[in-house]
Structure 1
Amino acid sequence: FEARVMADDAVQQCWRVSPGPDFVLVVAARDMPAYGALVQRLFTADANVRNVKAFFSLKRAKFEPRVPLTPLAPAG
């Protein structure tokens, strides 16, 4: 699954996570038919994929991908 996801151009990010789902994917699809094809390609055709949850972004409230250059103060 991981190799297939990494090779798919629609997948922008793939995170292996625990606990909970095994993977979190960030994907881009131009429309719902393209998304349906992606689902078929990556999930439906794979007998090892048992459960898929999809979340769609409606609005980006904040996006700051920067990393602080100074250490954060310890919680106290």
Structure 2
Amino acid sequence: MNKNYLTIKEAADFLGVAALTLRNWDKSGKFSAGRHPISNYRIYKTEQLEALLKEINAGGGQCVKPSKSSIKKLKVKLIED
């Protein structure tokens, strides 16, 4: 990679996750972003992203099963005229 820093969209594309996922990771402290000095937008170092991607690909990523309380069923009622 030629760029030292990536925008949140570029970083999300690089990792194969949504930009919202990166925002959530930043808010929870799981993966912190830097801030652009003028715009205050989130920016990510390419070295950090590459290290995270290597960790994920090496099996370091954790898969969490959602709890039953976090799953909601959608009920659809069909009404015919």
Q: Normalising by the residue count of structure 1, what TM-score does the alignment of the two structures yield?
A: 0.25
- Higher Cα Rg: structure 1 or 2? 2
Of structures 1 and 2, the one with the larger relative CO (CA 8 A, separation 6+) is 2
Structure with more helix by fraction: 2
Q: Normalising by the residue count of structure 2, what TM-score does the alignment of the two structures yield?
A: 0.24
